[in-house]
Structure 1
Amino acid sequence: MHRTRIWLVIGMLAPSGAAAQSHPLARVSWLVGCWERTVQNRRAVERWYAPRRSMMLGTSQSIRDGVARETEQLRLVTYGDTLVYDAHPASQARTQFRAREVGATRLVFANPDHDFPQQISYTLVAPDSLVAVVEGDRAGRRPPQTFQFRRAECGDVDMSPSLRARAELEALYGDLDRADEQAFTARYDWFGAYAAPGYAYVRWALPGSEVTVTDPAALRDIGQRIGTSLAQLRPRAPRYAALMERVRAAGDTAEVLVSGRLSYRFTDDAGRFGTAGREHERGTVERWIDSWVRHNGAWRLVRTWVFSDEVFMDGRVIVRDGRPLAAEPR
């Protein structure tokens, strides 16, 4: 595996209350903010955004002589009760580290299968000071490395165009999350709400087959039809999350790679999917690319390309890109 460059820093905005402490992501919500480390002409700057449901997004930059040299996309994700640190440096494979310790002043992640590092630990020594230790070399040639960070004002942190666009668009995708949980298929209205003149929603149904292109008005009709169909299942406990996987920006334009996951529970009273009266979990996972343009200070959607669509039930994929499948584990 490739070596992963990691600059992880921890702030001190401790959550309160027993309920907050019980959730692993809530226990590290003090990570939100900007932190930096400076050595001679090089700065390592990391920024974490407020957590949304089971995920917390971050970015890291290495800046030398005032120019951003390296960028890393970061995530903290919960899988059940386990907190996972997900690092994706530019031009490298994504690497995950599972939490071994999550405390009020100490955080430890580990991945014994990684070449370097295999463990990352952080100790909060003061409200604005952190000591991070990166260690564990499978080849046994690299000693532990210690780094000291200090809290920084986010307004003083220079961001690349992609990082700045990501920060600005994050709130819009947060609106998408909330809208679709409140009303099924509200995401189609969301596309229309941010659509620029001439916007097109493009869906590739199957590899090599026809492409469906619709405008905002047609999208709303599609959403209403899907909503009517779903209502027959009497779905409960809907959950929707849109993850900005990648952002590429230049000037007043940006492209965002997005994955959206909708899940809900329902009772199969009629026995359409097996034993009558059994409860199921069902949902969809879509991946798409949004093209944005900033006009008069506001981001507007130019085009949406949906290139992957899966339907799952009870943890197994049953439809992929419109084609029914034998159930596959998900």
Structure 2
Amino acid sequence: MSSACLVLRVLAIAAACLALTPQAGHADRADVEIADLGWIAGNWIREENGTVSEHLWLAPRGQVIVGLQRDTLDGITHHTEFVEIREGPNGIVFHVYPVGQAPTDFFLVWADERRMLFENPDHDFPQRILYWTEGGSVLVARIEGRVNGHIRSVEWRWRRAGED
């Protein structure tokens, strides 16, 4: 590997770590209530290579934010997922129920007025789930973790439905 490639790789990893590191203004999990995460509520959509990805988050109510995802291609649904962000006695938990897979829990690490980070270090992949909004009109989700000793991440961007 050339030294230029190595430098770029190190800079990319450092930037990702910095972006996910709590900064001043972040509340740790003990200070966050489910209502603080209500900024995620809305109907979000992304179109890429013919696939339409819809992300729907209901407003916080009854200590729960409910989320649904549906991906369709050529009028056929290829992926669905149900999510609950639930406030309970052990803090706020991101319960994900992907169709055809076992449900998994991720635990809130920190949040602020536009970002939230959940972790489950014992999960195969991902171990971290991060959501943030850009100006209230874009929702970004990033999953990351280690696979076979290598850091891997995937990121998606949705726009608020009806805002073109």
The correspondence for 2:67, drawn from 58, 61, 67, is 58
Q: In the TM superposition, what is the alpha-carbon distance from 1:29 to its structure 2 partner?
A: 1.4
The 2-side partners of 1:140 and 1:26 are apart by 37
The 2-side partners of 1:47 and 1:37 are apart by 12
2:78 is matched with 69
1:79 aligns with 2:88: yes
Change (3 A) 1:150 1:114: same
The 2-side partners of 1:146 and 1:118 are apart by 14
1:101 aligns with 2:141: no
1:129 is matched with 138
Give yes or no for contact 2:39–2:114 (8 Å, CA) kept in 1.
no
Q: Deviations over 1:30-85 (max 9, x none)?
A: 22211122111112211122322222222111111222111111101112361111
Pairs aligned (count): 132
* AA of the residue aligned to 1:107: M
Q: In the TM superposition, what is the alpha-carbon distance from 1:142 to its structure 2 partner?
A: 5.7
Q: What secondary structure sits across from 1:28 in the alignment?
A: helix
The 2-side partners of 1:91 and 1:131 are apart by 24
The 2-side partners of 1:31 and 1:81 are apart by 22
* AA of the residue aligned to 1:63: T
* AA of the residue aligned to 1:114: H
Give yes or no for contact 1:75–1:87 (8 Å, CA) kept in 2.
yes
| TM-score, normalization by structure 2 | 0.73
2:149 is matched with 140
1:39 aligns with 2:48: yes
The 1-side partners of 2:58 and 2:153 are apart by 28
Give yes or no for contact 1:23–1:81 (8 Å, CA) kept in 2.
no
The 1-side partners of 2:128 and 2:90 are apart by 20
* AA of the residue aligned to 1:52: R
Unaligned 5+ segments in structure 1 are 1-21, 154-330
Change (3 A) 1:136 1:40: same
Give yes or no for contact 2:39–2:113 (8 Å, CA) kept in 1.
no
The 1-side partners of 2:33 and 2:147 are apart by 29
Written as runs of structure 1 = structure 2, the 5 A alignment for 1:105-120 is 105-120=114-129
Q: What secondary structure sits across from 2:37 in the alignment?
A: helix
| TM-score, normalization by structure 1 | 0.38
The 2-side partners of 1:65 and 1:142 are apart by 33
Change (3 A) 1:140 1:25: same
The 1-side partners of 2:80 and 2:66 are apart by 14
The 2-side partners of 1:63 and 1:57 are apart by 20
- Where relative contact order (Cα < 8 A, 6+ residues apart) is larger, the structure is 2
Q: CA RMSD in A?
A: 1.8
Change (3 A) 1:137 1:96: same
Written as runs of structure 1 = structure 2, the 5 A alignment for 1:170-189 is none
Written as runs of structure 1 = structure 2, the 5 A alignment for 1:168-317 is none
* AA of the residue aligned to 1:113: D
Q: Deviations over 1:211-239 (max 9, x none)?
A: xxxxxxxxxxxxxxxxxxxxxxxxxxxxx
The correspondence for 2:99, drawn from 63, 71, 90, is 90
The 2-side partners of 1:137 and 1:43 are apart by 28
* AA of the residue aligned to 1:151: R
* AA of the residue aligned to 2:78: R
Give yes or no for contact 1:36–1:44 (8 Å, CA) kept in 2.
yes
Equivalent pairs: percent with the same residue? 31
* AA of the residue aligned to 2:57: W
Ranges of 4+ aligned residues in structure 1 off by more than 6 Å: none
